[in-house]
Amino acid sequence: MTMMDGRAFAQEKLMDNAALVLNAYYKAPLTTSRLNHKAMILSDEDMMPLLEVIEVLADKVGGHEATQNMFAPLYMDYLAYRVAIDEGLSPALLLLGADLAKADLGWDCGACGFATCGELTRYFKKNSGMGRMMVGPSCAWKTLDWGIACDYACAAAWELNMENRIQGTYGLLALALGYMEDVTAVMALPLGPVTEFWYYNRPTMGKVITPEAQAELLRNNVAVHWEMFAGDLKPPMKGEGEWWTRPPEYGSIGPDPEYTAFQQKNSGLMLEAVMEVRPKVEAMKKKRTE
């Protein structure tokens, strides 16, 4: 006979569903059939270095409030993980990675920006660098296939009605910390906790950001949602509260040296935090192999 709390049982079995999601990831129909995509599953203590980077960063910049203003999406994902783990609802975190720079197709299509696959390979060996979310340059076909595989993983999670959200933020952080070997790109796909809209409605946001600050964040980052007639030379923008009673505000694009300097400083601080935490990931990997 069994008498168990249903939510606790579902939470306990997240890993079972993770296997089905990974089956969809590896079984996705690809255009090249040459994608060597990889995956890793994390939970509980194995996730802690990913969170610790943000906490080390907070110490460097003077607290969590300053940290959340550096790159809000990363901090919001951190907070979702932090609260879930603190409440005993750790997700099963899938890291989905691939080597997108391995241009071994010989198609010479030019979609990557180089005339031949060989030119891309030679350039990558000498000049590869970190972009916004991955190391590049990348083979366009491998990138397409990896996107398809990640889409199939997300679709499987949706079909299973699991709480999930694909994340470039924590994928990039996992890549920087060295969780996966021989990959140039990583996406993070949390499965769970067993609740509703944890990563979209984000009930955790209310713990640190006021509704007014959330509205301003959306206004700055998703300007089209606030834009009125776009045919004007400068489109009028709606604002927070009774925006129609105030002088009109307009959208514009231009350099912002002060913000650029702020972001460059943040990049350096983030790299420092990653390098402080990375030895812990290496120690975890070494212990696992032993």
- Position 44 scores a pLDDT of 87
Asked if 163 and 84 count as a contact pair (C-beta separation under 8 A), the reply is no
- Judge whether residue 181 has pLDDT over 80: yes
Sequence-distant (≥ 6) Cβ neighbours of residue 112 within 8 angstroms: 103, 120, 137, 138, 139, 140
Write the pLDDT tens digit of every residue in 29-66: 999 989 999 999 998 899 999 999 999 999 998 888 88
Question: Quick check: is 114 in a domain?
Answer: yes
220 part of a folded domain: no
User: What integer pLDDT is reported at residue 53 of this predicted model?
Assistant: 95
67: in domain: yes
Q: How far apart are CA 76 and CA 221, in angstroms?
A: 14
Other beta carbons within 10 Å of 239: 15
End-to-end Cα separation, the chain, in angstroms: 40
Are 211 and 240 in contact by the 8 Å Cβ rule? The answer is no
Question: Looking at residue 71, what is its pLDDT?
Answer: 79
- Closest CA relative to residue 93, chosen from 172, 167, 201: 167
Report percent pLDDT > 70 for the chain: 100
Q: Where are the alpha helices (DSSP H) in 160-210?
A: 168-177
Angle at 127 between CA 121 and CA 133, to 5 degrees: 90
Residue-averaged pLDDT of the chain: 90
Position 135 pLDDT exceeds 60: yes
In this model, does residue 172 exceed pLDDT 90?
yes
Instruction: Report if residue 82 sits inside a domain.
Output: yes
**For position 214, what pLDDT does the model report?**
75
Q: Is residue 199 part of a domain?
A: yes
Q: Looking at the predicted structure, is the pLDDT value of residue 157 above 80?
A: yes
The mean-pLDDT minimum among 105-109, 228-232, 239-243, 255-259 falls in: 228-232
Predicted pLDDT at 224: 75
Residue 84 located in a structural domain: yes
| pLDDT of residue 93 exceeding 70 | yes
Please tell me the predicted confidence (pLDDT) of residue 148: 97
Residue 159 lies in a domain: yes
Is 233 inside a domain boundary? no
Most confidently predicted of 20-24, 60-64, 73-77, 202-206 = 20-24
Structural domain that includes position 34 = 6-209+255-289
Q: Output the pLDDT for position 1.
A: 57
pLDDT at 230 over 80: no
The structure tokens listed for 267 are 């990049």
> Which are the contacts of 248, defined by CB distance < 8 A and separation ≥ 6?
236
Cβ atoms of 116 and 86 closer than 8 Å: no
pLDDT above 90: residue 21: yes
Query: What pLDDT is recorded for position 31?
Result: 94
More confident residue, 256 or 92: 92
Q: CATH number of the domain that 138 lies in?
A: 3.40.109
Domain count, the chain: 1
> What DSSP state is assigned to residue 198?
T
Which band of pLDDT confidence, cut at 50, 70 and 90, is reported for residue 208?
Answer: confident
